[in-house]
Amino acid sequence: MPYVKRSESGEIVAVSQQRTEGFDDEVSVNSAELGAFLQAMGHDDAPLSATDKDFIRVLEDVVELLIGKGVILFTELPPQAQEKILRRRRLRSETTGLSNLIGED
């Protein structure tokens, strides 16, 4: 976890990987406040983050392919993974169903 140094008004002004003098406040790496500070400092991971949704879709398709070909069994996956896959399948089918409501002319 990173440690931050704060201004008198409580805003993050510096970040350290180690607890040292002045860096007493430990924050989560997923903290929105830390993310905003790093982005303002030019440490934006937006180019990588921009591909996340597409990459997740690819991984989802790979898992479906492996299950379909019998390389892995759905029941071999951890229960949390099974739940997430089932939820994604349901959402994808609902979304696909909604897109067909308009029809073609």
pTM score, whole prediction: 0.48
pLDDT digits (tens, 9 = 90+) for 18-35: 999 989 899 988 888 988
DSSP annotation of 74: G
Is residue 23 within 8 A of residue 3, CB to CB? The reply is yes
Q: What is the pLDDT of residue 5?
A: 92
Cβ-contact 67, 74 below 8 angstroms: yes
74/61 Cα distance (integer angstroms): 14
